Structure 1
């Protein structure tokens, strides 16, 4: 433990201590900010099932922790699974055949489900 003696630190030493303290505080702030943005981003898993071989088109918009966005468009067949990394997902899916599509989105501890069926039926879903 330090004992208070009433003596002041020399001017040069106190200035140096303040600079070091400022650097330590700045480094800690930057580390916490980086850890916070990484903690906000999470795995987003999309599972699509339904009538086997049913064709679909999809537009995925993924929002990253830094606020940037990535858009992916694709066509595929059921069943399929997608994995994204981000803080939010907006999706629009269109069934291209007469089959049914069941959609399940997992993010963190949450799960969202939706289903559609019939040619040209559409679904939009947003997960944050």
Structure 2
């Protein structure tokens, strides 16, 4: 059986600003194209992979986040430099196969957003269910 998704990210650190975290999670809940209904409609709650992306203010921060995602979380990840002058660095990652429940998904989003904030203020920009 696949690991529950919320168990793949550490608890929220005491160093994270809870109001900033709530704001990011609120925005993700409103703006993200995927949500629990995507998981339910595709019948993949028992095992699926999710991709996600963070914005990072500079190369050093992006590299630190990338290494943390790989080493701490065990996810695959890549970093890419800004495409334009006003863009941030982007760090994209993919979970291993995980099991997903509605409360587990909500907690994973909260914890992953907090993980980014704890890595020098990186912001979780969104996530998507990978469907074959």
Q: Which has the higher helix share?
A: 2
Same fold, TM exceeding 0.5? no
Q: Which has the higher strand share?
A: 1
Name the larger-Rg structure.
1
Report 1 or 2 for greater relative contact order, CA contacts < 8 Å, sequence distance ≥ 6.
2
